[in-house]
Amino acid sequence: MKHLIDIADLSEEDALRLLDTAESMAATQERRVKKLPTLRGKTVVNLFFEDSTRTRLSFEAAAKRLSADVINFAAKGSSVSKGESLKDTALTLQAMGADAVVMRHSSSGAAHRLAHAGWMDLPVLNAGDGTHQHPTQALLDAMTLRRYHRDREELIGSKLTGKRIIIVGDILHSRVARSDVQLFSLLGAQVMVVAPPTLVPVGIDQWPCQVSYNLDTAIATHQPDAIIMLRVQRERMSSLGGGFFPSPGEYHSAYGLDRQRLTNLPPQCRIMHPGPMNRGLEICAEAADHPRSVIVEQVNNGVSVRMAALYLLLAGEGNTDV
Ligand code: NCD
């Protein structure tokens, strides 16, 4: 594995290696001293062309806990805002001696281009490209779901076989939904996506999941082990003229995780959200703060997954001991 760009590039073995390594990383984070010397002397560049709080901080924390140096490069205020091309940025990074690039970009396919255009020869970790992919989010979601195994012996190497998962909301604009559906189905889960027809992408019939337009029916029939609520991505709607749903109130009553639906969830069902949340729109505060909400665990697991990805890409293939 040279890059981490698209879940479709991963075999089941790759996915399990990443998840198992993330578990080893998580175990090191229970220690009093969290920092490992593994990537000492390496430089990771965080190249963010799109706003991000938790993903950027999470990659930064992950790199620093492995003792790498981190350079944060935000497009605003850089030469990119003066019109510098992705190619020139790539040439600059290579010349500066970077060892890996973490990139978030508003265009789908940007990470693939950076990795494969021949401008530079560094591992690229996709931190989200347009509406296309967000592989580390899918891995941290899978890590969170796999933890229903409490016993480490059972957890390591395990898949999500037979687990029933519902993903709800703005599927159309969601790179998280695309990555999650691919990874969960690769790991043997049964996935259902639920959205208003206007927020379902063309070609969804090719996705390895079921589709429903009614959240109440979906909860009753799918009996989920986990429900993932997606953010309504208003910033990606304005350019398209809006009109994806009549009003926030109507969205909430048809597709929000409200109090009534919370009581209809099966007792084992975990509540997830990739953040940032619109409380009161796709999820009510009671659901977000519920004892079965694992939203904070997702953030925590994000650091372990990103440590694993940086470690496997930078510390050398075949070297999977931590
Ligand atoms: C997601 C993203 O940026 O794609 N958030 C994240 O990575 N924490 C989901 C979102 O923005 O809704």
Q: Tens-digit pLDDT profile for the chain (322 aa)?
A: 899 999 999 999 999 999 999 999 999 999 999 999 999 999 999 999 998 889 999 999 999 999 999 999 887 766 776 667 889 989 999 999 999 999 999 999 999 999 999 999 999 999 999 999 999 999 999 999 999 887 888 999 999 999 999 999 999 999 999 999 999 999 999 999 999 999 999 999 999 999 999 999 999 999 999 999 999 998 888 655 568 888 899 999 999 999 999 999 999 999 999 999 999 999 999 999 999 999 999 999 999 999 999 999 999 654 444 4
| Predicted local confidence at residue 317, as pLDDT | 53
The rounded distance, in Å, linking the Cα atoms of 282 and 230 is 7
Long-range contact list for 159-162, CB < 8 A, 24+ apart? 159/12, 159/16, 159/187, 159/188, 160/184, 160/187, 160/188, 160/189, 161/187, 161/188, 161/189, 162/188, 162/189, 162/190
What's the gap between Cα 318 and its chain centre? 25
Other Cβ atoms less than 10 A from the Cβ of 100: the count is: 23
291 Cα: distance to centroid of ligand 1 (angstroms): 23
Testing ligand 1's pocket by substitution, the residue of 7, 134, 179, 282 carrying the most ligand atoms inside 8 A of its CB is 134
Whether 201 is in the pocket of ligand 1, judged by its Cβ within 6 Å, is no
Residue 68 in tokens? 């790498």
pLDDT of residue 318: 47
Contacts of 84 (CB under 8 A, 6+ apart): 78
Residue 126 DSSP code: E
Mutate to test the pocket of ligand 1, among 50, 137, 139 (most ligand atoms within 8 A of CB): 137
* Distance between CA atoms of residues 150 and 226, nearest Å: 16
Positive/negative CA dihedral, 63, 68, 74, 75: negative
- 180 strand-pairing partners: none
Which of these, 177, 50, 140, lies nearest to 104 by C-alpha position? 50
From the CA of 95, how far away is ligand 1's center (Å)?
A: 31
Which amino acid makes up residue 130?
G
Distance (angstroms) between ligand 1 centre and the Cα of 99 equals: 25
Q: How far is the CA of 136 from the centre of ligand 1 (A)?
A: 11
State in Å: Cα 204 to ligand 1 middle. 20
